[in-house]
Amino acid sequence: MHPPILGELTPGTTQRHLIKLPGPALANDEPRSVISVAGAKLGPVVFVNAGVHGGEYPAIEAVIRLGKTLDPKKISGSVILMPVSNLPAFRARTPFVCPIDNVNPNRVFPGDPLGSYSEQMTHALINEFVVHADAYIDLHGGDIPEALVPFVICRSEAGLPDSEGRDVAARSKEIAAAFGLPYVLTVSKPVQPSKGSSSYAAAAEKGIPSILAEAGGVGQMQEDAVELLVNGVLNVMRHLGMIDRAEIEFRVEQNLNAKKTAHRAVATAKAPAAASTVLTKFEWVYTKNAGMWYPKMGAGDVVKQGEQIGTVGDLFGETLEKIISPVNGVVLFLTINPSVLANGLLMGIGVE
Ligand SMILES: [Zn+2]
């Protein structure tokens, strides 16, 4: 069933909506852009959003582009697209959090209808959109001060109590693999202690197979990252039987021919691997001290346990701290801004 908040959708058409999300804290919001692509034939409903973090521009552009290019006449089922969920952060260019309550929305899913702004927003996303879908794709990237290699995260089957939960996790993992990025990370618990969970974990707990896919970063619009995310969504649609192979190949070709406008400050990808490398643990590395951060590694580099991966220095140029890798793994994301706070996040390492 389509999200009721969108009203009646006509099969075979794309419609543009301006949606006011429910919640007293959201009452004065500017309406959010949502695009519904209602296929001519019956099939699954997929909800795709970006901009849960407002500075992840390739993800936002990927959702906009899907809305402009998906042909409802050739689709079975529907795709519901929300380019920017956390609109206050997008407008203010605020990384990681929503500037209204200073909360990271991706730590408070599934939200709370009586909570702070971010909690009411995530509650609305889950209840007005996600639970009305058969699958949920949350597109991200490195935020304004972060570089990363493209990867997909989903909930692992480990630790789930019942067979229904394990089935949702298994289907999420299939969707993650179908998306086609170099790495798939399956996690069983939040990587940071927080009030709530991440979008994909909360959606899976509601019984909706879901993934979070990341590409691009550093506050820029990398065309290759946009293409990876657009093609990833198309790959998932093919996996779900919503679109045929010929259509996919046409789109991929079209994207490859698109004018390259990327600022290649950061390599966003090797070509998508034939099969993704599966990682099962996400180890985040922090600095004890505030200061200047000098990483020795780039996103995508392989690191060894005990290896020095950077230093943090004071403003006289003295080294305060050598940063040592706690694990063998691959650097999935990396803070590239030199200014770091005490207990600040430096990088995330994926472990096989
Ligand atoms: Zn993000």
- Cα of 67 from ligand 1 centre, angstroms: 21
* pLDDT value at residue 253: 55
In 3D, which of 82, 2, 90 has the Cα closest to residue 38?
2
List beta partners, residue 340: 291
Let me know: does 293 contact 310? Beta carbons within 8 Å. Answer: yes
* pLDDT value at residue 272: 47
- Cα of 12 from ligand 1 centre, angstroms: 32
Q: For the chain, how big is the Rg over CA atoms in Å?
A: 20
Q: Identify the weakest region by mean pLDDT among 82-86, 156-160, 322-326.
A: 156-160
Q: Does the model's pTM come out above 0.75?
A: yes
Let me know: does 111 contact 124? Beta carbons within 8 Å. Answer: yes
Share of the chain above pLDDT 90, in %: 84
* pLDDT value at residue 261: 34
Let me know: does 133 contact 4? Beta carbons within 8 Å. Answer: no
Indicate the pLDDT class of residue 265, thresholds 50, 70 and 90.
Answer: very low
- Cα of 142 from ligand 1 centre, angstroms: 6
Residue 191 amino acid letter: V
- Please state the rounded mean pLDDT for residues 177-195: 88
* pLDDT value at residue 247: 59
Average pLDDT, the chain: 91
Query: In which region does residue 144 sit, left (phi positive, over 0), alpha (psi from -120 to 50) or beta (all else)?
Result: alpha
* pLDDT value at residue 164: 83
Share of the chain above pLDDT 70, in %: 91
- Cα of 96 from ligand 1 centre, angstroms: 7
Phi, psi dihedrals of residue 105, rounded to the nearest 5°: -60, -30
Q: Does 49 have pLDDT greater than 80?
A: yes
Over the stretch 124-138, which tens digit does the pLDDT of each residue have?
Answer: 999 999 999 999 999
- Cα of 138 from ligand 1 centre, angstroms: 9
Give dist(CA 80, CA 228) in Å, integer.
19
- Cα of 154 from ligand 1 centre, angstroms: 14
- Cα of 54 from ligand 1 centre, angstroms: 8
Of residues 9 and 166, more confidence is placed in 9
* pLDDT value at residue 118: 98
Q: Does 207 have pLDDT greater than 80?
A: yes
- Cα of 139 from ligand 1 centre, angstroms: 8
Q: Does 248 have pLDDT greater than 60?
A: no
Indicate the pLDDT class of residue 1, thresholds 50, 70 and 90.
Answer: confident
- Cα of 345 from ligand 1 centre, angstroms: 14
Residue 336 amino acid letter: I
* pLDDT value at residue 195: 86
Give dist(CA 215, CA 137) in Å, integer.
13
Tokens standing for residue 271: 């070509």
Tokens standing for residue 103: 């909360």
- Please state the rounded mean pLDDT for residues 260-288: 67
- Cα of 13 from ligand 1 centre, angstroms: 30
- Cα of 189 from ligand 1 centre, angstroms: 17
- Cα of 35 from ligand 1 centre, angstroms: 21
Indicate the pLDDT class of residue 165, thresholds 50, 70 and 90.
Answer: confident
* pLDDT value at residue 260: 39
- Cα of 55 from ligand 1 centre, angstroms: 8
Give dist(CA 61, CA 84) in Å, integer.
9
- Cα of 76 from ligand 1 centre, angstroms: 29
In 3D, which of 148, 118, 136 has the Cα closest to residue 176?
136
Of residues 111 and 247, more confidence is placed in 111
Q: Does 306 have pLDDT greater than 70?
A: yes
